[in-house]
């Protein structure tokens, strides 16, 4: 009896011990899951989003992308800031400055510039050149950077004494932003190698993405439409502007895309759609090598003759628009070679109000021209100083566009008169 009792007691003790072990393991697993639910989960989510969307999967094999995830998760990652730094290190081997982590402040500012009407900062749109130097794509009109004489093509060497090479593109842009009234010291170099320091005061910059007016001379009335960037509201504002110009009976249109560094690609495509009738706008090439042509609808908001002004600050979505107009022979391009940014980013949310931008595709013009690193070549190059006040009476680029449009309209009038005379002769 005692023997049976002892065996039963031993069995119960073993079961209890096993339950304790299982319960302990379960607790450990819960703790591990909890650990992955915060800062480490942020890193894993970023890796997964890039793994699923990045446009060049061959790069993953080259950099051993899965091994990078493993090594990154072995790091000490206990805070959000450590997670952001780990993600930056993880993305660096991909060598794509446009695929980047966006800390909460940067994420909010980027969303504001895409969907809002103003932004706090110095008014610089930045990119990287082939040597990974931080380069000015364009300056926003009326911004501290424009007033200081910073131009497209200049390089940002330091921000508050810290090298832009050390900071990288995303952190350089982040350090330039800030509360209105605060100052930032920027060392700028020109393409010729001249270096200078500029003390800039941050302020709220009114983006005013769409501006329009009517230009009149003795013979013709021409509409002037300037788009400074492609935010969410732009397509509707452009529709309204074109209707306003049509109500004023303009005969031709000057579309000014100078220093428009892009924005929402969908907005640029929507504007092209309003100027083209059943024509290809752009082709996109994703990670599978598939090219999808986007075709415009039949209805247009303006079908008169056009000239489109571009310069070296014309980039991304504005190059899509300019390329679609040029390739479809809808508009003459006039000005300078454009910047050459032909990559499309998708913006994804991460935890704690942060985000990640991922390059998901490249785009080609309707005739298959690759814009990335090359840009658009104007039909008519303008070897003239660019204006400091776009669209003003002193803007020689606009004056050249006016004269060219005038010559087009004169030819149209001659053609119409000839047709009318022929009709009279045929009737007689």
- Is residue 101 assigned to a domain? no
Is a pLDDT exceeding 70 seen at residue 83? yes
- Is residue 108 assigned to a domain? no
Mean pLDDT of the chain: 84
pLDDT in tens, 245-265: 999 999 999 999 998 888 889
Per-residue tokens: 21:
């072990």
Kindly report the CATH number assigned to the domain that includes residue 377: 3.90.226.10
pLDDT in tens, 154-175: 999 999 999 998 888 778 888 8
Per-residue tokens: 329:
């022979």
Q: What is the CA radius of gyration of the chain?
A: 28
Q: Give the pTM.
A: 0.75
Q: What is the spatial distance between Cα 172 and Cα 126, in angstroms, rounded to a whole number?
A: 9
186 and 214 part of one domain: no
265 and 195 part of one domain: no
170 and 75 part of one domain: no
pLDDT in tens, 374-422: 999 999 999 888 876 788 888 999 999 999 999 888 876 655 454 444 4
Give residue 68's pLDDT: 96
The mean pLDDT value for 193-222 works out to 86
Q: What percent of the chain has pLDDT over 70?
A: 84
The torsion angles phi and psi of 39, rounded to 5 degrees, stand at -65, -40
Is a pLDDT exceeding 50 seen at residue 28? no
Give residue 399's pLDDT: 94
Catalytic, out of 143, 171, 261, 316: 316
Helix, strand, coil share (%) of the chain residues, nearest 5: 40, 25, 35
- Is residue 426 assigned to a domain? no
Residue 68 vs residue 97, higher pLDDT: 68
Q: What is the spatial distance between Cα 358 and Cα 98, in angstroms, rounded to a whole number?
A: 7
Catalytic, out of 154, 273, 327, 395: 327
Give residue 380's pLDDT: 95
Upper half-sphere CA count for residue 141 (Cβ side, 13 Å): 21
Give residue 281's pLDDT: 96
Kindly report the CATH number assigned to the domain that includes residue 17: 3.30.750
Give residue 143's pLDDT: 85
Give residue 171's pLDDT: 80
Give residue 209's pLDDT: 87
Asked whether the beta carbons of 277 and 329 are under 8 A apart, the reply is no
pLDDT in tens, 298-345: 999 999 999 999 998 899 999 999 999 999 999 999 999 999 999 988
Catalytic, out of 39, 171, 341, 395: 341
- Is residue 109 assigned to a domain? no
Q: What percent of the chain has pLDDT over 90?
A: 52
Per-residue tokens: 337:
């070679």
- Is residue 251 assigned to a domain? yes
Last residue of a domain, one of 206, 233, 267: 206
176 and 256 part of one domain: no
321 and 224 part of one domain: yes
Is a pLDDT exceeding 70 seen at residue 23? no
Give residue 119's pLDDT: 56
Give residue 208's pLDDT: 77
Q: What is the spatial distance between Cα 306 and Cα 129, in angstroms, rounded to a whole number?
A: 32
Indicate the number of domains in the chain: 3
Q: Place 3 in a pLDDT band, splitting at 50, 70 and 90.
A: low
377 and 280 part of one domain: yes
Asked whether the beta carbons of 283 and 363 are under 8 A apart, the reply is yes
For residue 28, give Cα distances in angstroms to 17, 22, 35, 74, 357.
16, 10, 10, 18, 34
177 and 216 part of one domain: no
187 and 237 part of one domain: no
Q: What is the spatial distance between Cα 331 and Cα 309, in angstroms, rounded to a whole number?
A: 10
pLDDT in tens, 362-385: 999 999 999 998 999 999 999 888
Per-residue tokens: 417:
């008169």
Q: What is the spatial distance between Cα 322 and Cα 276, in angstroms, rounded to a whole number?
A: 12
- Is residue 154 assigned to a domain? yes
Tell me which residue has tokens 């703790």.
31
Q: Which domain holds residue 349?
A: 210-411
316 is catalytic: yes
Lowest mean pLDDT among 113-117, 191-195, 208-212: 113-117
For residue 182, give Cα distances in angstroms to 23, 98, 174, 286.
56, 27, 14, 42
Strands (E), 124-273: 124-128, 134-139, 155-159, 162-163, 183-189, 195-201, 203-206, 210-216, 221-227, 252-256
Burial of 33 (0-12, 13-18, 19+ CB in 10 A): exposed
Using DSSP, how many helices (H) and how many strands (E) does the chain show? Answer: 12, 19
57 and 172 part of one domain: no
């Amino acid at each position: 009896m005692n023997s049976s009792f002892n065996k039963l007691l031993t069995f119960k003790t073993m079961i209890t011990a096993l339950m304790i072990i299982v319960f302990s393991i379960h607790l450990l697993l819960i703790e591990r899951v909890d650990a992955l639910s915060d800062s480490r989960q942020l890193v894993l989510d970023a890796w997964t989003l890039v793994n699923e969307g990045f446009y060049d999967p061959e790069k993953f094999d080259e950099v051993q992308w899965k091994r990078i995830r493993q090594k990154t998760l072995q790091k000490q990652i206990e805070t959000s800031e450590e997670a952001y730094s780990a993600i930056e290190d993880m993305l660096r081997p991909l060598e794509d400055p446009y695929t980047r982590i966006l800390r909460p402040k940067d994420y909010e500012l980027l969303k504001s510039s895409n969907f809002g009407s103003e932004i706090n900062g110095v008014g610089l749109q930045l990119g990287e050149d082939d040597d990974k130097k931080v380069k000015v794509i364009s300056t926003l009109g009326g911004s501290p950077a424009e007033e200081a004489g910073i131009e497209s093509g200049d390089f940002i060497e330091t921000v508050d004494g810290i090298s832009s090479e050390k900071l990288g593109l995303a952190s350089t842009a982040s350090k330039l932003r800030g509360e209105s009234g605060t100052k930032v010291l920027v060392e700028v170099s020109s393409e010729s190698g001249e270096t200078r320091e500029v003390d800039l005061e941050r302020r709220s910059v009114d983006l005013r993405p769409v501006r329009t007016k009517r230009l009149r001379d003795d013979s013709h009335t021409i509409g002037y439409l300037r788009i400074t960037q492609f935010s969410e509201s732009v397509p509707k504002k452009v529709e309204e502007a074109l209707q306003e110009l049509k109500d004023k009976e303009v005969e031709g249109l000057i579309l000014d895309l100078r220093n428009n560094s892009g924005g929402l690609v969908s907005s640029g495509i929507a504007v092209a759609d309003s100027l083209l009738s059943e024509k290809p706008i752009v082709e996109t090439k994703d990670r599978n090598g598939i090219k999808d042509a986007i075709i415009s609808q039949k209805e247009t908001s303006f079908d008169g003759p056009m000239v489109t002004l571009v310069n070296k600050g014309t980039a991304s979505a504005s190059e899509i628009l300019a390329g679609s107009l040029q390739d479809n022979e809808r508009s003459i391009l006039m000005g300078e070679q454009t910047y050459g940014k032909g990559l499309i980013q998708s913006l994804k949310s991460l935890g704690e109000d942060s985000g990640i931008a991922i390059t998901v595709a490249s785009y080609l013009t309707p005739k298959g021209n690759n814009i990335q690193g090359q840009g658009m070549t104007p039909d008519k190059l303008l070897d003239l100083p660019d204006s400091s006040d776009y669209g003003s009476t002193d803007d020689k680029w606009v004056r050249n566009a006016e004269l060219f449009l005038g010559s087009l309209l004169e030819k149209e009038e001659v053609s119409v008169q000839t047709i009318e005379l022929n009709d009279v002769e045929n009737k007689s």
